[in-house]
């Protein structure tokens, strides 16, 4: 039986449908989230990640409550990783770290997740290029080509990455994850692409602490840029010169 030969690049009806979808989506983002979307994110509900943006997070350590782990729970729920039952092998995309100054005894608490470096060591060391940085600064693992060598875990100075040690089922459709590959915080890329904020940011705001700000570091008018411009902040392991997209205040 002879099958019709169709060239891959000549997908019938492809352009028509795609263009319609894109136009529809751009409008939808505007109508569904008026104001918020337009003002917080520069008003451009672009269909693709844009190099004119750099997404970042700013954590105000003073506002982060020691016993609160709303961000961790929200991330776990959003992305479908279980809160650690077996802490040695279970994935932890975000964790709360409690600090005590060795000299002064001052205590602090803050969340640590993938810092979405501008110069990510995990991307440099990945042999297949599975570990990559999107043009808008979000560092991700392409699990389709991750071979599970774990070199990125060795190279990450923040211990931000986890390896999936067991079979998983019922993953969230927007956060695929599976045995034998490495994963980490995606800055809720699926939400960001839909014009929303990461789950941890929303959850932190909902507790009233409001310790995490999300936004475009390249937009001088964004809340995060203004906060960074007006108050001192620091990057974790700033000595390494990785220029992370996640910043901390009052640390």
11 forms part of the interface with another protein (CB under 8 A): yes
DSSP 133-161: E-TTS-EEE-TTT-----HHHHH-TT---
183, β-bridge pairs: 162
Task: Give the interface size with another protein as a residue count (CB under 8 A).
Answer: 102
Q: Per CB under 8 A, which region of 168-176, 205-213, 216-224, 225-233 contacts another protein?
A: 168-176
Output 58 or 126, the one with its CB closest to another protein.
Answer: 126
Contacting residues for 13 by C-beta, under 8 A, at least 6 apart? none
- Rule CB under 8 A: choose which of 41, 81, 158, 214 binds another protein: 158
Minimum gap (Å) between residue 220 Cβ and another protein: 23
Please give the span between the terminal C-alpha atoms of the chain, in angstroms, as a whole number. 70
User: Which residues in 198-227 contact another protein (CB under 8 A)?
Assistant: none
Q: How far apart are CA 105 and CA 162, in angstroms?
A: 31
User: Which residues in 68-107 contact another protein (CB under 8 A)?
Assistant: 84, 87-92, 95-103
Q: How far apart are CA 124 and CA 164, in angstroms?
A: 21
Minimum gap (Å) between residue 105 Cβ and another protein: 10
Show the tokens assigned to 50. Answer: 């844009």
Three-class SS state of 128: coil
Q: Per CB under 8 A, which region of 162-170, 200-208, 214-222, 225-233 contacts another protein?
A: 162-170
166 forms part of the interface with another protein (CB under 8 A): yes
Q: Per CB under 8 A, which region of 121-129, 202-210, 211-219, 225-233 contacts another protein?
A: 121-129
Output Rg (C-alpha) for the chain, integer angstroms: 20
Output 194 or 205, the one with its CB closest to another protein.
Answer: 194
Show the tokens assigned to 197. Answer: 């904020």
Contacting residues for 203 by C-beta, under 8 A, at least 6 apart? 70, 71, 73, 74, 75
191 forms part of the interface with another protein (CB under 8 A): yes
- Rule CB under 8 A: choose which of 125, 219, 226, 250 binds another protein: 125
Residue 31, H or E segment: helix 14-32
Q: What x-and-dash track marks residues 27-56 binding another protein by CB under 8 A?
A: xxxxxx--------------xxx-------
247 forms part of the interface with another protein (CB under 8 A): no
């Amino acid at each position: 039986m002879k099958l019709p030969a169709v060239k891959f690049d000549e997908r019938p009806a492809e352009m028509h449908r795609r263009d319609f979808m894109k136009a529809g989506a751009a409008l939808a983002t505007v109508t569904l989230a008026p104001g918020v979307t337009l003002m917080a994110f520069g008003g451009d509900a672009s269909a693709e990640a844009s190099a004119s943006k750099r997404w970042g997070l700013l954590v105000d350590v003073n506002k982060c409550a020691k016993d609160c782990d709303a961000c961790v729970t929200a991330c776990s729920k959003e992305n479908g990783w279980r809160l650690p039952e077996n802490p040695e092998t279970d994935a932890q995309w975000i964790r709360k770290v409690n600090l005590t100054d060795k000299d002064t005894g001052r205590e602090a608490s803050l969340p640590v997740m993938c810092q979405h470096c501008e110069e990510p060591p995990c991307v440099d060391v990945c042999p297949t290029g599975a570990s990559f940085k999107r043009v808008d600064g979000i560092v991700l693992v392409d699990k389709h080509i991750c071979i599970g060598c774990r070199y990125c875990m060795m190279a990450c100075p923040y211990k931000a990455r986890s390896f999936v040690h067991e079979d998983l089922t019922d993953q969230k459709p927007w956060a695929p994850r599976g045995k034998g590959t490495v994963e980490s915080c995606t800055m809720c890329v699926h939400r960001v692409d839909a014009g929303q904020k990461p789950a941890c940011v929303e959850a932190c705001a909902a507790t009233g602490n409001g310790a995490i700000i999300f936004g475009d570091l390249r937009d001088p008018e964004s809340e995060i840029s203004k906060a960074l411009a007006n108050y001192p902040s620091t990057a974790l392991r700033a000595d390494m010169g990785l220029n992370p997209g996640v910043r901390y205040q009052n640390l």
